[in-house]
Amino acid sequence: MSIKVAPSILSADYVNLQRDVELVEKAGAEYVHIDVMDGMFVPSISYGAAWVKALKPVTNMVLDVHLMVVNPERYINEFADAGSDIIGVHYEATPHIHRALQMIKAKGVKAEVVINPGTAVELIKPVLHMVDQVLIMTVNPGFGGQKFLPESIDKIKQLAAIKAEMGLDFDIEIDGGVNGDTVKAAYDAGATVAVAGSYVYDKVDPAAKIAAMKELTK
């Protein structure tokens, strides 16, 4: 099965957001990735739960919410009530990652743990039984348009091996610098969902970019 594609609206045209979301849905994207930045965990401020609520009625894609927020427990219920299908919380953003994941699950939302490039895969072993998806950041979070870190490939392989060893079946998502040159190696390593912002939205023809990612991972 081809990799599932999750265009990040961080690189979309915000005044034509509905158009940009419909366009990728028609092109076969399964998820829409929503990057929430608080200006503390990462330098930028992006958008909040109101955007999730606004997008909910205009798309059938999975609303994949990536919280780049310090102490995300403060916002989990709000994002769940807004209509998130998956909520991702960073291992690095809270001393209580287990509790944060419990809170997401208690709302009936799919739970995701996210790790930064500097965080070892082993550290999330104790929570892997709780999650529906793991996001391995393939750049340092905070900005679109950065270069894919090649050392991520080993981390994806490690996680895929742990997943098989533990008999679990969560999705493995990658985020940052994903494009036609980087998606195949990540897919071969075990990634099942690919976030792509600037590759899909920055230049012409987002539909062709999605088709290319699907074709490269057949």
Lookup: tokens for 64: 């994949």
Return the H-helix or E-strand segment holding 76. Answer: helix 76-81
Strand runs labelled E in 82-156: 86-90, 110-115, 133-137
- Selecting among 35, 38, 64, 132, the annotated active-site residue is 35
User: Which range touches ligand DX5 (CB under 6 A), out of 14-22, 53-61, 98-106, 169-177?
Assistant: 169-177
* Spatial distance between the Cα atoms of 76 and 94, rounded to a whole number of angstroms: 13
Selected binder of ligand DX5 within 11, 84, 182, 192 (CB under 6 A): 11
- Residue 175 is among the residues annotated as catalytic for this protein: yes
- Selecting among 20, 64, 171, 175, the annotated active-site residue is 175
Between the CA of residue 162 and those of 118, 129, 130, 134, 173, what are the distances in Å? 19, 11, 14, 12, 15
User: Which range touches Zn ion (CB under 5 A), out of 44-52, 59-67, 157-165, 184-192?
Assistant: 59-67
**CA-based max dimension of the chain:** 46
Range 166-185, binding Zn ion (CB under 5 A): 175
Selected binder of Zn ion within 35, 132, 171, 173 (CB under 5 A): 35
**How many other CB atoms are found less than 10 A from the CB of residue 106?**
12
* In the complex, minimum distance from the CB of residue 166 to ligand DX5, in angstroms, rounded to a whole number: 26
The length of the chain is: 218
Choose between 66 and 214: whose C-beta lies nearer to Zn ion. 66
Q: Does 90 bind Zn ion (CB under 5 A)?
A: no
Q: Enumerate residues 6+ apart whose C-beta is below 8 A from 203.
A: none
* In the complex, minimum distance from the CB of residue 89 to ligand DX5, in angstroms, rounded to a whole number: 13
Residues of the shown chain interacting with ligand DX5 in the complex, contacts defined by CB under 6 A: 8, 10-11, 33, 35, 66, 139, 141-146, 175-178, 195-199
Supply the residues annotated as catalytic.
35, 175
Binding interface with Zn ion (CB under 5 A):
35, 66, 175
